[in-house]
Amino acid sequence: MKMEIDYIFESKKSISLDPRTKIFLMIIVTTIMTAGSSVGIMYYIRFATLILPLLLLSIDKKWNIVCRLLITYSILFILELKIFPILSGLGFFILGALIGIYIRILPGFIMGYYFISTTTVSEFIAAMERMHLSNKIIIPLSVVFRFFPTIKEEYSYIKDAMRMRGINLCGDPVKMLEYRLVPLMISITKIGEELSASALIRGLDSSGKRTNICKIGFKLLDVLLIIYSSLLFLGFIFL
């Protein structure tokens, strides 16, 4: 039975990273991209950092997101470095500032998306327990970890319901508020309560040692990515 379970998990995720590696990479990418400059050696460090989310998404075969990220980031990067410096006016200054902020936070959001979409709650809890964190931290984080994907799913259901009823919300913010946001806010309240109850039912608040069917651990790919990102961070600090 154990061999069958192991086979199912290994075949489902032939290439997977340890959740702790994903958290580490997410912190490194967010720090370098938001705090780093685009002058001198930092230009190349930021470019090398941007490779990380693209590489991880490619490993997970999310080619559509990789292409969209490459196109979006290339356009914004060209606008920031080549177009807006030669333009003048308050409007261009504000737009350039917004684009600059978006360029810096976009890779961090992509890493967050990758982390949530490729990590199950059980894997996340197992990783947190390996880090010897308290249940007072693990339980709220596990609820939040499941909260955002559930909200996204609920919002898609609301959109489908509006489409089936022929309600077009384009250009009407009042209808948008009434038919989408109000049901979503009600769903958020219920979902929060249900996820909290689910966490307690699964025994997450138990003081005893829990077993976990998920197999986590550092592999060669984890080690290589940690070394690569650590070198980038050292360059960010000292260069």
Kindly report, residue by residue over 129-173, the tens digit of the pLDDT.
888 888 788 878 887 877 878 888 888 888 888 778 777 666 566
Asked if 114 and 168 sit in the same domain, the reply is: no
Residues 6+ apart with CB under 8 A from 169: 162, 175, 176, 179, 180
Q: Are residues 13 and 70 in the same domain?
A: yes
Q: Find the domain containing 180 and state its range.
A: 133-201
Confirm whether 127 is domain-assigned: no
Whether residue 211 lies inside any domain: the answer is: no
pTM value? 0.78
Question: Does 125 fall in a domain?
Answer: no
Would residue 128 count as lying in a domain? no
Q: Does residue 6 sit in the same domain as residue 79?
A: yes
- Domain co-membership, 103 together with 6: yes
Residue 209 in any domain: the answer is: no
Question: Do 172 and 73 fall into the same domain?
Answer: no
184, part of any domain: yes
The 10s digit of each residue's pLDDT in 8-58 is 444 445 578 899 999 999 999 999 988 877 777 888 888 889 889 988 998
On whether both 184 and 234 belong to a single domain, the answer is no
Number of domains in the chain: 2
